[in-house]
Structure 1
Amino acid sequence: MIRVESLTKVFRRPHTFSGPLGPLRTLLTRRYDERTAVDGVSFEISAGEIVGYLGPNGAGKSTTVKMLTGILTPTSGLIEVDGRVPWRDREANARAVGVVFGQRSQLWWDLPLIDSLRLVGDLYDVPAARFTGSLRRMCDLLGLDDFLQTPVRQLSLGQRMRGDLAAAMLYDPPILYLDEPTVGLDVMAKQAVREFIAETNRLGRTTVVLTTHDLADVEALCERIILIDKGRVLYDGGIDDLVTAYAPPRRLVVELADDETRTFEIAAGRPIPELIAQVAAEHPIRDLSIREPDLESVITRIYAESER
């Protein structure tokens, strides 16, 4: 469904230098400063996958999504989305993808939500009967009925995000790009968004590319993740394989009778009962727990190694 090969995006801007009155641009010498946002990225995504596209701020995630949608043109490399080159066939590509940018709404600010959704239906030439069916499905999945008549400017952040998701899927695109869809949402709103994404994928086999800083989104939705840093892919594969390959050791945390807490690293392959028995033979134990590595600790470790 999505094929990316050696994708690169370099941003150029006129070079500036310090003058007596402040920063000046070198308009005559045509010198430029360059910044590589995406640097030789390659991956393929099959129909029906939900893939987490992860990285720290400035890693190149949003730039990649904007090239996939046709908003930006690559400096070099290849992208095919459902058989199309996005920036060469922007209109056809736009009809085949839904996009939600968590910090930017595609809804009309002063109109009731229902009017925004009707405009989206008109823009994408959705027949009336199909629009009615799609709207009913969105209302059922996202709980829109209570605020369909409310102007978008009066919606809470969680309600607006649900409206944006409805607008992105109203015309049944086979691909959905989500850029930070749960940013700033409360726990209940996040859960509603996650359930909608999972159900949309299950019902329509929608291919989903998800960028997020909330790893709970990834653990709830994705079986595969692509890690990117400084514009380059660090890892592409399953979450379980990532944890197995890069996880820090498990730890045994023991609370002793004298209120002291001791932490023991559990060596790979060592039976936990054996370690507990050894500790108990030397110290009176009040309580103990085992700390398993989580996805966040694994990814943090990978980025730290990348920095080094």
Structure 2
Amino acid sequence: MDQVIQVKDLRKDFKSHSSRPGLKGAFRDLFNRNYSIISAVKDISFEVKQGEMVGYIGENGAGKSTSIKMLTGILTPTDGTVTVNGMNPHKEREKFVRSIGVVFGQRSQLWWDIAVQESFKLLKKVYNVSDEDYEAHMTHVIDSLDIGPLLDKPVRKLSLGQRMRCELAAALLHNPPLLFLDEPTIGLDVLVKLKIRNFLKEINEKYKTTILLTTHDLTDIEALCERVIMLDEGQIIYDGKLANLRSNWGEGKQIEFQFAEEVTKDELSPLMKELDAEWTPGERKNVWVANVVNEEHVISEVIGRVVAAHRITDVKIHEISTEEIIRNIYEEGVVDGKIY
């Protein structure tokens, strides 16, 4: 099966109660409530192939969680069709959940007061995994995530990073072909994030595990995903390669100047005359950033003019970050559900 996820015109509406003002309004609401329909997901369509690692991103309230819940069978769509691993998630739920793994950063599937390995044994029974398959697969998972020393500890005694590694192992206990990750690295330190990212790359290469990753940490997306799906107000505004998004929206460079003494934007702006560039304040004192087009003569001219006019102690040239690109798109580039 080439297409692991097939979504066509998927829609989810919620009925919302709106209260009338005042005591009289509250009394009327007891007998006759006012309702309005809110569309959290608006007729989205996309497909995900086997072995893909896709970043599913958007601002809070964009419809990510609602659509993920429909993909995992938790919510029933108002309209449209969803096929995941060849099944209808909410109609074939018992069979379907055996074919996916899910990790929610804010929720646990491990039992809080018992040892991690006891949770694994219970999940082994739930998923009907044989002893041979468990040993062959989980030995590799436990070693790769470095959770062997944690197996005898109760979940409640684990740090956040330790628990998330155990959660990931639990989601992969039955070696599912599809893995849903919702904020899997939230609140984790750099070393734990790196370990989880490397492990996800490894299982993707070894088992062709398809991964749909929802996160606000765009460094996870950059490290793992070639393709991104962006949502805004319940609609898909971009579905394509991350590299194309960068080339279309991230063509500029950022030149960071550390000045020897305090300067103002009014003093710096005249230096940009006839150049396609603008100034923004840096995060540190006496630091200003020149946002310029990625052309050698412009970059050289900006640096030359600034050095000639002011004393500087440091200068750095940065690519525009993916986070900056995404923020610019949401602030400036979305009209009628499309990126312009």
TM normalised by structure 2 equals 0.83
**Matched residue, 1:166:** 169
1:81 paired to 2:89: no
Between the aligned partners of 1:22 and 1:186, the Cα distance in structure 2 is 51
Give the 5 Å matches for 1:82-101: 82-101=85-104
Between the aligned partners of 2:171 and 2:291, the Cα distance in structure 1 is 47
Instruction: Give the 3-state SS of the residue equivalent to 2:329 in structure 1.
Output: helix
Give the 5 Å matches for 1:142-221: 142-221=145-224
Q: Compared with structure 1, are the counterparts of its residues 262 and 102 closer, same or farther at alpha carbon in structure 2 (3 Å cutoff)?
A: closer
**Matched residue, 1:138:** 141
Give yes or no for contact 2:228–2:239 (8 Å, CA) kept in 1.
yes
1:271 paired to 2:297: yes
Measured against aligned partners, the alpha-carbon deviations of 1:247-298 in whole angstroms (never above 9, x if no partner) come to 2632334456767566544335453565267527844664432232110000
Between the aligned partners of 1:262 and 1:152, the Cα distance in structure 2 is 47
- Any stretches of 5+ residues in structure 1 without a counterpart? none
Between the aligned partners of 1:62 and 1:240, the Cα distance in structure 2 is 25
CA RMSD between the two structures = 2.4
Q: Compared with structure 1, are the counterparts of its residues 277 and 198 closer, same or farther at alpha carbon in structure 2 (3 Å cutoff)?
A: closer
Q: Compared with structure 1, are the counterparts of its residues 263 and 140 closer, same or farther at alpha carbon in structure 2 (3 Å cutoff)?
A: closer
- Any stretches of 5+ residues in structure 2 without a counterpart? 264-286, 336-340
Determine which of 5, 17, 22 is the counterpart of 2:8: 5
Query: Partner letter of residue 112 of structure 1?
Result: A
Between the aligned partners of 2:105 and 2:198, the Cα distance in structure 1 is 17
**Matched residue, 2:324:** 297
**Matched residue, 1:288:** 315
Aligned-residue offset at 1:306: 5.2
1:229 paired to 2:232: yes
Between the aligned partners of 1:170 and 1:25, the Cα distance in structure 2 is 53
Query: Partner letter of residue 182 of structure 2?
Result: D
Instruction: Give the 3-state SS of the residue equivalent to 1:289 in structure 2.
Output: strand
Between the aligned partners of 2:290 and 2:136, the Cα distance in structure 1 is 58
Query: Partner letter of residue 67 of structure 1?
Result: M
Between the aligned partners of 1:281 and 1:149, the Cα distance in structure 2 is 61
Give the 5 Å matches for 1:118-129: 118-129=121-132
Q: Compared with structure 1, are the counterparts of its residues 21 and 201 closer, same or farther at alpha carbon in structure 2 (3 Å cutoff)?
A: farther
TM normalised by structure 1 equals 0.91
Count of aligned residue pairs for this structure pair: 308
Q: Compared with structure 1, are the counterparts of its residues 24 and 150 closer, same or farther at alpha carbon in structure 2 (3 Å cutoff)?
A: farther
Q: Percent identity?
A: 42
**Matched residue, 2:106:** 103
Between the aligned partners of 1:155 and 1:277, the Cα distance in structure 2 is 51
Measured against aligned partners, the alpha-carbon deviations of 1:111-157 in whole angstroms (never above 9, x if no partner) come to 11001011111001001111122221121111111110111111111
Between the aligned partners of 2:24 and 2:18, the Cα distance in structure 1 is 16
Between the aligned partners of 2:158 and 2:182, the Cα distance in structure 1 is 20
